[in-house]
Amino acid sequence: MDRTKLSDRLGHLLAPWRLETITSGIDVQSLWRWAKLSLIVGAFAGLAAAGAFYVLEWAEAAVLYRLVGLRNPPYGAGEHLFSHESAGPVVWWLVLLVPAAGGLCAGLLSWRFAPEARGHGTDAMIEAFHFKRGRIRARVPFVKLLASLFTLGTGGSGGREGPMAQMGAGFGSYLSDLLGLGVRERRLLLLAGAAGGISALFRAPLGAALWALEVLYRDDFESDGMFPCLISSVTAYSVFTSIFGQGSLFAAPVTYEFRPEQLVFYAALGLACAPLGVLWIKLFYGTERRVFDRLPVPPWLKPALGGLAVGALALALPWVFGGGYGWMQDALRTIDDPLRQLPVGYAGFGLLLGLAVAKMLATALTISSGGSGGVFAPSLFVGGFAGGAFGLLFHEWAPGIVDQPGAFVLVGMGAVYAGVSRAPIATIILVSELFGSYDLLVPLMFAEMITVLLLRRVTLYEQQVVNRLESPAHVADFTVDVLADLRVDGHYTKGRATETIPASMDLRTFLDRCAHSPDSFFVVRGPDGRLAGVASLGAVRAVVADQDVLDVFVVGDAMTPLVSVAPGDNLRTALDRFVQTGYDRLPVIDPDRPDEVLGVLSLHQVYSAYHAELLRRRLADEREPGRPATAA
């Protein structure tokens, strides 16, 4: 075989592997642009998370442990940056007053500079994505950081993820405005910022990216943001860990082993977490609407009153202070310790379940009053302590099967948060990354599935929408998708205006015809007998304002270009032509008979078809009966 033939054959074999062939269906320039933007957002989110983490750790150590005298057990692999050893005995009156002072500072700051910085932050991010075109004011991230510092640094019950998500999202929104990007790009960079912030703070890059995409909806997923969220999440994680090192937030004291016979107990835990989730949501929003909204005091004072109430609760139960990460780690360690300090059996069950409810109340008092903090960590606390309670109970009943009750702490965390957040997929990954282990992946999936199914009608994030169809961010997408499935044939008025008029008709005659006809829209034939354009009453009035020239001008002088649709066209094509021409009606013409008008399609008919199809699809989803199983 000569060299030319060999070269040709090799070229043919290698053709599918050429770079230009592989990338032929990919917009490389757009991907590179998104990669650069996501890298910038992720780098900022990582640095912001590092700064926020350092400042919050310092505030907790300085205020709660050195000033007040409390001690919080370390969590994870020694993640605390500062010593949490108390400087002396607990100063009980400071336990009462310090959270109130922090709440007062946070309330004044938010009320004066950015009211949207109040609350848990995640809902504000979700609201900005759906209803505010992805826009967050530039000052909000800074106000949110300071308000969270005052709230959480003085013992307020809340997590760090809400403030961090809002801060990262705020930078993504600000960068979009700075670069003059469009609304869609602003929304996606907002999500990228939120993903980066969560990824860095919790050292959970994959779970954070999925969380930012899933938490927007009750039953859907924002797949458009996958690429920027992953890039931002990885970048932020890399920046944060380069400063503070790698490691998971929590450290599992033992290796958890799963056995299939344990599934019945994990199912029971999933069932138990559902009413607990309902109580958590009702208590959170009930405290806001039935207590703080009715208090006849200024808004800036309410977080101080909430902080005072939290301090009073902490006098009896200091576990409710802060995010509770240390207590979660301590519970995980002591439950599986043969020499555990926790009481066993029903006493341990009651203690841990009571602490879970107390944490709900403390978080509601902190955040529902207008303080700044997240609900992710409190949800983990509630689920973890409830899971530990049921783990001890199940161990008492069946010690041979439930031999590691600490595993129920981890599974309870995932079940409660997945149920109240409507983000089950992200929660599975997040919780596994928080512990640096996928040992309990199957129990997590099983318990979460049960809790999520039972909590379909409630959510902790009120700004969530059901799916992309109900999001203002995707109105245009679904309008086009629905219309693409509908044909012109069956939606236009057949036979109407099929009688054409000649281009030589004078305008006075045309106006008389309109006055004695239900139609004011006609297709015009040219001198050669072919369809030449369209004439409408509005178009003629726009051209001729003087009655004296009606006998001088003819229809051909006032007609507009002929733009038509065919019966086989879809309504998306028809809508495009309505938009391009500005017409409110289009003639329907068969391509095989180009000189015959079949009827007229109006813009109103397109809208009616769209809404009718939406209603049909919704009813079909709600009423479609299940199909009986058939034997293979």
Cα–Cα distance for residue pair 338/75, rounded to 1 Å: 20
Q: Whole-angstrom Cα distance, residue 397 to residue 400?
A: 9
Q: Could you tell me if 574 and 454 lie in one domain?
A: no
Q: Are residues 469 and 496 in the same domain?
A: no
Question: 501-502 and 521-525: which strand pairing?
Answer: parallel
What is residue 79's predicted lDDT score, i.e. its pLDDT?
54
**Domain final residue pick, 474, 501, 534:** 474
- Provide the domain count of the chain: 2
E strands, 369-408, in order: none
159-187 burial string, b = 16+ CB within 10 Å, else e?
bbbbbbbbbbbbbbbbbbeeeebeebbbb
Tell me, what amino acid is at 620? A
CA–CA distance, 483 with 477 (Å, rounded to integer): 10
CA distance 306 to 449: 34
pLDDT at 632: 31
User: CATH code at 605?
Assistant: 3.10.580.10
**Does residue 464 share a domain with residue 529?**
no
Looking up tokens 């009827």 gives 599
Residue with tokens 């991010």: 125
Separation CA 107–CA 302 (nearest Å): 7
Which pLDDT value is given to residue 282?
A: 96
**What is the reported pLDDT for 583?**
83
Contacts of 369 (CB under 8 A, 6+ apart): 103, 287, 288, 292, 302, 303, 305, 306, 307
Give yes or no: residues 432 and 365 share one domain: yes
Does residue 37 lie in a domain region?
yes
Q: Are residues 331 and 360 in the same domain?
A: yes
What integer pLDDT is reported at residue 312 of this predicted model?
A: 94
> Distance between CA atoms of 98 and 110, rounded to whole angstroms?
18
Q: What distance in Å separates the CA atoms of residue 406 and residue 345, rounded to the nearest whole number?
A: 14
SS3 content of the chain, % helix, strand, coil (to 5): 65, 5, 30
Q: What angle (nearest 5°) sits at the alpha carbon of residue 537, between those of residues 532 and 542?
A: 95
Tell me the C-alpha distance between 162 and 371, whole Å: 12
Determine, yes or no, domain membership for 342: yes
Q: Is residue 114 part of a domain?
A: yes
Q: Which of 427, 450, 474 is where one domain is finished?
A: 474
Q: Is 277 in the same domain as 324?
A: yes
Query: Tokens at residue 313, please?
Result: 């609760």
- How far, in Å, CA of 115 to CA of 112, rounded? 7
The answer to whether the CB of 428 falls within 8 A of the CB of 414 is yes
628 lies in a domain? no
N-terminal to C-terminal alpha carbon distance within the chain: 55
Residues 188 and 277 occupy one common structural domain: yes
For residue 147, give the nearest of 116, 192, 122 by alpha carbon. 116
- Specify if 11 maps to a domain: no
Assign residue 73 the CATH number of its domain.
Answer: 1.10.3080.10
Instruction: Give the pLDDT score at 425.
Output: 95
Q: Give residue 540's domain range.
A: 485-616
**Structure tokens belonging to residue 82:** 């500062």
- Tokens read off for 377: 């960590």
- Same structural domain for residues 413 and 557? no
- Collapse the DSSP code of 604 into the 3-class scheme (helix H, G, I; strand E, B; otherwise coil) and give the result: helix
Residues 470 and 491 in one domain: no
Give me the count of residues in the chain: 632
Q: Where are the beta strands (DSSP E) in 30-114?
A: none
Question: Is 626 part of any domain?
Answer: no
Same domain, 417 and 504: no
Q: What is residue 62's DSSP assignment? A: I
512 and 435 in a common domain = no
Q: Is the dihedral of CA 97, 101, 107, 108 positive or negative?
A: positive
pLDDT of residue 14: 58
Report if residue 443 sits inside a domain: yes
pLDDT of residue 624: 47
613 burial via Cβ count (<10 Å: 0-12, 13-18, 19+) = middle
Q: Is residue 78 part of a domain?
A: yes
- Considering the domain architecture, whether residues 281 and 359 belong to the same structural domain is answered as yes
Half-sphere exposure of 429 (CA within 13 A, CB side): 16
Question: How many angstroms separate the CA atoms of 202 and 510, rounded?
Answer: 74
Residues of the chain with pLDDT under 50: 77-78, 339, 624-632
